[in-house]
Amino acid sequence: MRICMIASTPFPPAEGIGFYTWNLAKQLHSRGHKVQIITRGGAHRTHHQVVDGIDVWRPPFVPLYPFHVHVHSLWVNQLVRQLEDEVDLFHLHTPLVKRPHTKRPFLVTVHTPMKADAAAVSMDSLLGWLIKMQAPISYRLEQELFDHATALTAVSHSVAAEMNAYGIDPQRVRVLGNGVDTTLFGPPCPGHEPATERYALTVARLAPRKGIADLVAAAEIVARQEPSFRFYIAGSGPMQKDLQSEIEQRNLSDQVKLLGHIQDRRQLVDLYRNATLFIHPAHYEGLPTVLLEAMACGRPVISTAVSGALDVIEPEGNGLLVPPHNPAAIADATLRLLKDGGLADGLGMAAHRTIEERYSWKRVSENYLNAYASIM
């Protein structure tokens, strides 16, 4: 089969949807399928390269907000017309992609509908205000895309349910899940030297709806009982400066560390494996890759009870769920795992089994191949 994916994320990938697209493409390529990817480029002409046998096209991207997606689609559609004769179907990953001009069937994977995404963003910052102002344009763009898609899929049942806001019956949306590269993300090998310090790891873009400010507030509560315990936050984003100020104002510079974006995947795996526990404090999420990666590494996880986390976490079985916007609940769950090593170990082992059984890329790619076959 000849598949062309379209995503509005940078390459090489640096965040969840980018890694989702890339990992699925690699898995399909390993099964003998021809895969191409169209994504964002720079301000110059379209750049083409072959990476691990996959054609990657990066047409120009100009940040003319709030019409950047419309402008980018002009170059995307030029490529669509150029590649159409050598493509059986197009596979789009939302958000922020426009309906392609093609006669070929196209499948859309919904990672986070903008109506749900924007609703979870507060207007207490300039960035939040800008997201809210752009939202109506994004809604119209998505509505056209969803209305004309040959098939719709979602990464979680909660995302499928949110399609109701677009007048789409959730029963029409196939839930195909998210995946983890289980050849890379896994528990420590026998003989692995444990970390010399105990810490909670969070991996997230530092942006609204990720709940990082809640995590900082929770760290202050935990520090009163466990002053030597650390909170490491890997990721970058527009809220980095404000979060650093918040950490300093709360006198948490010793307890909370912003690590920035971790480009080296092996380094990231080590951070997961050495973590005492993993915390995902988001206010809204589709089905976060980082949560699955932490579980694949056998870490006990604490997550807010939102969206895709409800698909994967069985409370008290393979993780702990807490209410969103609730630093005290995050702190209580953290202290509980620190005091009960048996519970933490049991949750970590169960989390790893969950990923092996349901969320490997081999399993997810099989789901997509069945979906592709149904619309060909």
Q: Which domains does the chain have, with CATH numbers?
A: 2-179+360-375 (3.40.50.2000), 199-358 (3.40.50.2000)
Residue type, 113: P
How many residues in the chain? Answer: 376
For residues 248-261, average pLDDT: 97
Cβ neighbours of residue 205 under 8 Å, at least 6 residues apart? 15, 235, 236, 237
Lowest mean pLDDT among 90-104, 118-132, 260-274: 118-132
For 263-299, write each residue's pLDDT tens digit: 898 999 999 999 999 999 999 888 899 999 999 999 9
CB 173 within 8 A of CB 154: yes
CA-CA distance, 341 to 336, in Å (whole number)? 9
pLDDT reported for residue 10: 84
The pLDDT of residue 127: 59
Specify the amino acid at residue 91.
H
- pLDDT on residue 262: 93
pLDDT per residue as tens digits for the range 43-89: 888 999 999 999 999 999 988 877 888 899 999 999 999 999 999 99
What is the average pLDDT score of the chain? 92
pLDDT at 53 (0 to 100): 96
Query: Of 123 and 63, which is predicted with more confidence?
Result: 63
Give mean pLDDT, residues 335-340: 98
Q: Is 6 helix (H, G, I), strand (E, B) or coil?
A: strand
- Are 192 and 275 a contacting pair, CB within 8 Å? no
Contacts of 168 (CB under 8 A, 6+ apart): 146, 152
Lowest mean pLDDT among 125-129, 146-150, 206-210, 345-349: 125-129
* Model-wide pTM > 0.75: yes
With H, G, I as helix, E, B as strand and everything else as coil, classify residue 251. coil
Q: What distance in Å separates the CA atoms of residue 252 and residue 216, rounded to the nearest whole number? A: 8
Least confident of 30-34, 89-93, 119-123, 148-152: 119-123
Q: What percent of the chain has pLDDT over 70?
A: 95
Angle at which helices 361-375 and 16-30 pack, to 10 degrees? 80
Query: 99 with 144: CB under 8 angstroms?
Result: yes
Q: Please state whether beta strands 47-51 and 54-58 pair in parallel, antiparallel, or not at all (unpaired).
A: antiparallel
Q: How far apart are CA 154 and CA 176, in angstroms?
A: 6
Determine which helix (DSSP H) or strand (DSSP E) holds 146, and give its type and residue range.
helix 126-148
Confidence of residue 126 (pLDDT cuts 50, 70, 90): low
Between residues 302 and 181, which one has the greater pLDDT? 302
Quote the pLDDT of residue 120: 60
Per-residue pLDDT at 118 exceeds 70: no
Average pLDDT over residues 297-303: 98
52 φψ region: left (φ > 0), alpha (ψ -120 to 50), beta (else): left
d(CA 376, CA 25): 18
